Amino acid sequence: MKVPTFRVPGLRRRKGDDLPGLTATARIDRRTKRLTKRLRTGEIAIIDHVDIDRVSAEALVACGAAAVINVASSISGRYPNLGPKILLEAGIPLIDNASPELFERVRDGDVVRVHEGQVYVGDELVGKGEPRTMESVEAAMAEARAGLSLQIEAFTANTMEFIRRERDLLIDGVGVPEIRTRMEGRHALVVVRGYHYKEDLAALRPYIREYRPVLVGVDGGADALLEAGYRPDIIIGDFDSVSAKAITCGAELVVHAYRDGRAPGLETVRRLGQDAVVFPAAGTSEDVALLMCDDKGASLIVTVGTHWTLEEFLDKGRAGMSSTFLTRLRVGSKVIEAKGVSRLYRSRISAGSLLMLVATALITIGVVLYSAPVGKVWLNGLRDTWNGFIFWLVGLFS
C-alpha cells in the first residue's frame, strides 16, 4: 500500500523533501495513552501496542495522526479488536510489526519519512514494517472471531481467580477507605474517558442539572468532566493520565494502589502538593470507583465511558477486565449506563408544562386586573402611558 505524500506546515525545506512517501515529525512512546497527550495534527505516532483497542484508535484519530507505526502487532488474532479498522477508515496509514530498534534509532521530535513500510531519518533506513490494508485487517478479524472461544475460556479462568483473591472486597466491601464526600442517598456519576464519553456527557446535561449527582472522575475522566464544564467531586485512579489541572481542581483524591500497598500515583499527587487516600485493590480503577460508590451508599450509579459488553472487556486487552464483570454483578442493581439515562430520563418539568404555567399565570393576572377596581385604575394608567409613548414616537417623525 503506497502512503500519500504529506508535508508538515512550517517545516523548512530540506534535503529529501522531494522523496516519495510521508514526511513528518515523529512522536514516540511505548504507551499510546501517554503519546496522545502530546501528539499534534500531522505528526507520526510510533507506539508499542499489541491489539490496538477502540479507545486508543479514536484518540489517535482525534489527535490528527498522519500515520501510526507500531512495533507490535496491531491485531494479533486473540480477539477481533476494532482499533486497526478505525485507523484505516479514518485514512491513517498503519505500519504494523515494525522494527523494535525504532525506539533506539528514532528520537522524539525527529523528522522521519515513511514509504511502503520503510522508515527513514534523513537518508538512513532505521526500520521497516508491514503496511496494513483494510483487506488484511478484515482477514485477521475473521480469524480472531473463529478463535474467540479460547479468549472466553481465559476470561472465565481470570474471573475465578479474581473471586478467590478479592472475595472480601466484593462481598463485604472490606478495604474501602473513608472519604469526606457524602454519597449516602445521592446519585453518583462515574466518568471514564472511554467510548463516546463526550456525546454521553452532553446528553446528560439535563440530568446533571436536575439531580446534582456526585461527580466521580476515573483517571482521565476527571479531565473529561472539566472539559465539559464540571468540577469533579472525587478523582480516583492510578493518576497516570490525569492532568495537573484536574489534580489541583479541589476534588477529593483517591489513589488506586496495588494489592500489596504500592501506589505509584501517590507520588504524582504529592508532587503537586495535594493529599489523597489510598485504596488497595486488584482490578481496574473504574471497578474500584463503582465499588466505592456502592459502599458509600449511592442510591444510583450512572456510568459514562465504562465497559459493558464482552467485546469491550476483551478490547481493553487486559486479563484484569474479569474484575469488571464481577463488579457489575456486585453493584448491578444500582448501575445504569449513560445512554440508558439519556433515553429514559425526562425532566420532571417539561418545556410545554412550563410554558402552560406561564400562560396561565399571565391570564390570571389579566383577569384580576380587569375585574378589580384597583386593576381598572392600573389598566387605565397603562393605557395612558402607552398612548403617550405612541404620541411621542409619532412626533419624532413629523
User: What is the C-alpha separation between 128 and 167, in angstroms, rounded?
Assistant: 48
CA dihedral 72, 111, 55, 299 (to 10 degrees): 120
First to last CA, the chain: 79
Taking the alpha carbons of 271, 276, 277, 283 in that order, is the dihedral positive or negative?
Answer: negative
CA 315 vs. chain centroid, Å, equals 15
Q: Which CATH superfamily is domain 22-143 in?
A: Phosphohistidine domain (3.50.30.10)
pLDDT in tens, 145-191: 776 666 666 666 666 666 666 665 555 555 688 999 999 999 999 99
Tell me the CATH number of domain 170-344, given options 3.30.460, 3.40.50, 3.40.720, 3.30.70: 3.40.50
The answer to whether residues 146 and 152 touch, using CB atoms and an 8 Å cutoff, is no
pLDDT given for residue 368 in this prediction: 64
In the chain, where the domains are located: 22-143, 170-344, 351-396
Which pLDDT does position 381 carry in this prediction? 73
Which cell numbers hold the place of 150?
479460547
Rounded CA-CA distance 66/60 in Å is 9
Q: How many CA atoms lie within 13 A of 334 on its CB side?
A: 22
d(CA 277, CA 263): 10
3-class SS of residue 79: coil
Contact 122, 16 (CB under 8 A): yes
DSSP 174-195: TTPPP-SS--TTSEEEEEES-T
Residues of the chain with pLDDT under 70: 1-17, 147-175, 307-326, 329, 339-354, 365-379, 396-398
Model pTM score: 0.60
pLDDT for res 314: 60
| Percentage of the chain lying above the pLDDT 90 cut | 45
Question: In angstroms, how far is CA 75 from the centroid of its own chain?
Answer: 22
pLDDT at 376: 65
pLDDT of residue 179: 93
